Amino acid sequence: MKRYLSAGLKIGERRYPAEHVVVWLGLAALCLPPLALVQGAEKTAMAAPPASQVLWYDQPAGGWEAEALPIGNGRLGAMLFGATEKETVQINEDSLWEGDEKDTGWYQNLGEFEVALPQAKPVTNYRRELDISRALHTATYTSDGVAFRREAFASFPDQVMVFRYTADKPGSHSGTLTLKDGHDAKPVIGPNRLTAAGKLKNGLQYESQILVINDGGTLTATPAGIAFQNVISLTLMVGAGTDYLNQRDKGWRTGEAPHRKVTEQLDKAAKRQYADLLAAHVKDYQALFSRVRLDNGKTDAAIAAQPAAKRLEAYKQANAKDPELENLLFQYGRYLLIGSSRGALPANLQGLWNNSNTPSWRCDYHSNINIQMNYWLAETANLPECAEPLLSYIFSLREVRTEQTSSEFKSKRGWTVQTENNIFGGSSWEWNTPGSAWYCQHLWEHYAFGGDGTYLKTVAYPVMKEVCEFWEDRLKALPDGTLVAPMGFSPEQGPREDGVSFDQELIWDLFTNYIEASQALGVDPEYCQKVTAMRDKLLVPKIGKWGQLQEWMVDRDDPKNEHRHVSHLFAVHPGRQISPTKTPALAAAAKVSLKARGDAGTGWSKAWKISFWARLLEGDHSYKMYSELLKNNIMPNLFDTHPPFQMDGNFGATAGVCEMLLQSQAGELHLLPALPGAWGTGSVMGLRGRGGFEVDMAWAECKLTSVTVRSLTGKVCQVRYGEKTVELKMKPGAVIRLSGDLSTGKK
Ligand code: FUC
């Protein structure tokens, strides 16, 4: 937290002074765990976490994709198998990309290291676990009467990953450590350090290092790696970096090989005690993770005591109830976002965990649903800091996208995107013309939830305005004056033609957000009027011949089309143009379309359907999607599979649960709008609503029993539960508690 206070917040190339974040942090702290708990992180580090916050297994992982477990600090990541004799740990650094402005390239594998610990005796009492309440991976087992324990975590404050090997008998660790670079760079082997440095084909310099610290015994450099003998405890500090910089004017490079920085990070961490590193990590992580808690019911103790893979298998049996596993999947999405989105770059198709140099879909930033879905939870599930890498990324691409857009569309102002995108401004596949409008939704929502006017003015607003200008120049008037986007493309449907609903709805969203932004800032009143006039002339989605929401201006939707993309329902979610309360006829048509597309779907498609049904206020259908996703699209390590593994489904699932419990897109906090019957009694703490609110709720027998609203910004707060609404006038920092019938009483 101190780091934020002294350094302020960085968005794009701008850094906001500490005073802008102090208010936010102070208010956010209201829903942190009691201070004593945070300060006592070191002491409590060994306390057993609740069953709904642990993934555990009774055997080592078999495969990378479905069984290995991820740790990450938002920039560095590792996948752990927990094998006892030969433990392989695969590692990533989020800027290790091939490609450039012309070639989209692929996100790359950094490499792996192996710790060989030959054991004479069979292993008993094996357990590996990922505790997402502390972001700590542990493997324990007994061999030859010796109890071994390994811990691993990825520290954000220290920018290293730490792996610790201990045993209850001194001198029990003898073996070797080797490092294998993902691009065959030959490691330099020192007495206590392995270094693999290389250059990708695009000239990107990278380096990984492992610093070995032994307590007792000996370390010896060998031709293959480092041998350790009779060591009491072994600690590995793993660091990595590249010379990537998210600035085009610097050629996307820092201009400095990563060696110095990585060495410094490891040397600094190595001076600290392991317990201190762990405590600092847990404190930092929990400051984000502990903001939201969910209780959606208790699992039968016998089921909760099972390993995660067995629980998942049991869950697939129609009658097995495991609300704590559902809760685990919800919180896992938050864990994964914290683990993959705290560096300079946003979470990609696999967060940041990738073991291939030619991963599916380049493991890229896909602009037609995937990168957006990755961030649906960031604001609602109270991780707004994790949205910042996305906002910086959007900002960093403006110049190159403006050039590319101008060459493609002969445009003079603004920019947009293609579908596949890398980190150097390179892109490929279909132009996704309303893609930049969708990005702008994220820029706007960061303000809508957090209320930071300086951010809105200096970061979000200029981008939103230039994208409005792009559409101002491009929209085409039909003979009756209706405005349509020319030559649009409903993702993966085609054909290219005018007035595609996906485009129309996104432009409506952009214009509406722009209008609100300009009014909030009190700037550009004339342009705001112009945008309002354009918005009001946009072709709105029509209801077609079988009662469906038309995907195109032409009424040609095929009721048998069960394609996973349901882009014409953007207006329902994450947009706000269609809702059962404000536009009931269109909402009914959206329902007809959604039913026709069917309940099936690949991971992310299924995840989107959780939110669609929640926005249509059908909690049980929304829950059906969530539950089916868990049954059909989630692997034993709880990664979502498309197939293959794609993390958007994890993020989208968490976002969907938020939509079931709290909505705020219509200018009011709508409490429990789609609470499923399956979660009849429960509570949630720390969800965020637009307008700068945090909300805690409790319910019993599917009825709200109490709600606490905290105001971050002092905006008037309209609260809805069912048909009842109340208006609360709240000062910044005020906390109001209401009972289930929304009667007030100040806390
Ligand atoms: C979209 C989807 C694919 C896949 C890819 C990464 O284009 O249609 O199913 O998820 O993104």
The verdict on 66 and 13 lying in the same domain is: no
- Ligand 1, atom 6, residue with closest C-alpha: 361
The verdict on 92 and 238 lying in the same domain is: yes
Does residue 54 sit within a domain?
yes
- Cβ 367 under 6 angstroms from ligand 1: no
Does residue 480 sit within a domain?
yes
Does residue 129 sit within a domain?
yes
- Can you say whether residue 742 is alpha, beta or left, with left for phi > 0 and alpha for psi between -120 and 50 degrees? left
Beta strand 365-366 pairing with 417-421: antiparallel
Counting beta carbons within 10 angstroms of the beta carbon of residue 46, is it exposed (0 to 12), middle (13 to 18) or buried (19 or more)?
exposed
The three-state (H, E, C) secondary structure of 519-576, written as one string: HHHCCCHHHHHHHHHHHHHECCCCECCCCCECCCCCCCCCCCCCCCCCHHHCCCCCCC
The verdict on 128 and 223 lying in the same domain is: yes
The verdict on 164 and 233 lying in the same domain is: yes
Query: What is the total count of domains within the chain?
Result: 4
Of 272, 290, 308, which one is at a domain's C-terminal end? 290
What is the C-alpha end-to-end distance of the chain, expressed in Å?
27
Q: In what order do the strands lie in the sheet with 669-671?
A: 662-663, 669-671, 717-721, 724-728
The verdict on 132 and 21 lying in the same domain is: no
Cα of 510 vs centre of ligand 1, distance in Å, is 23
Does residue 635 sit within a domain?
no
Residue 475's domain spans which residues? Answer: 362-373+410-445+452-574
Does residue 398 sit within a domain?
no
Residue pair 426/100 in contact (Cβ under 8 Å)? The answer is: yes
The verdict on 135 and 29 lying in the same domain is: no
- Cβ 233 under 6 angstroms from ligand 1: no
Give the pLDDT score at 18: 39
Q: Which of 370, 429, 647 to mutate to test the pocket of ligand 1 (most atoms within 8 A of CB)?
A: 370
Residue 120: CATH number of its domain:
2.70.98.50
Counting beta carbons within 10 angstroms of the beta carbon of residue 43, is it exposed (0 to 12), middle (13 to 18) or buried (19 or more)?
exposed
Give the pLDDT score at 22: 34
Structural element, H or E, at residue 725: strand 724-728
Of 234, 257, 290, which one is at a domain's C-terminal end? 290
Cα of 188 vs centre of ligand 1, distance in Å, is 40
C-alpha 636/C-alpha 62 separation (Å) is 11
Does residue 587 sit within a domain?
no
Q: In the chain, which stretches have pLDDT less than 70?
A: 1-48, 745-747
Does residue 82 sit within a domain?
yes
Of 524, 546, 574, which one is at a domain's C-terminal end? 574
Cα of 512 vs centre of ligand 1, distance in Å, is 28
- Cβ 256 under 6 angstroms from ligand 1: no
Residue 367: CATH number of its domain:
1.50.10.10
Does residue 393 sit within a domain?
no
Cα of 370 vs centre of ligand 1, distance in Å, is 7
Encoded amino acid at 348, one letter:
N
The verdict on 118 and 244 lying in the same domain is: yes
Q: Which atom of ligand 1 is nearest to the CA of 419?
A: 7
The verdict on 216 and 246 lying in the same domain is: yes
- Cβ 349 under 6 angstroms from ligand 1: yes
Cα of 616 vs centre of ligand 1, distance in Å, is 24
Question: Among all chains, which residue has been given the structure tokens 């596993």?
Answer: 325
The verdict on 97 and 183 lying in the same domain is: yes
Cα of 494 vs centre of ligand 1, distance in Å, is 15
- Cβ 642 under 6 angstroms from ligand 1: yes
Cα of 642 vs centre of ligand 1, distance in Å, is 8
The verdict on 40 and 56 lying in the same domain is: no
- Cβ 368 under 6 angstroms from ligand 1: yes
The verdict on 20 and 78 lying in the same domain is: no
**Helices H / strands E in the chain, number of each:** 22, 32
| DSSP secondary structure letter of residue 31 | G
Nearest to 82 by CA among 45, 49, 48, 127: 127
Q: Which atom of ligand 1 is nearest to the CA of 604?
A: 10
Give the pLDDT score at 34: 31
The verdict on 42 and 138 lying in the same domain is: no
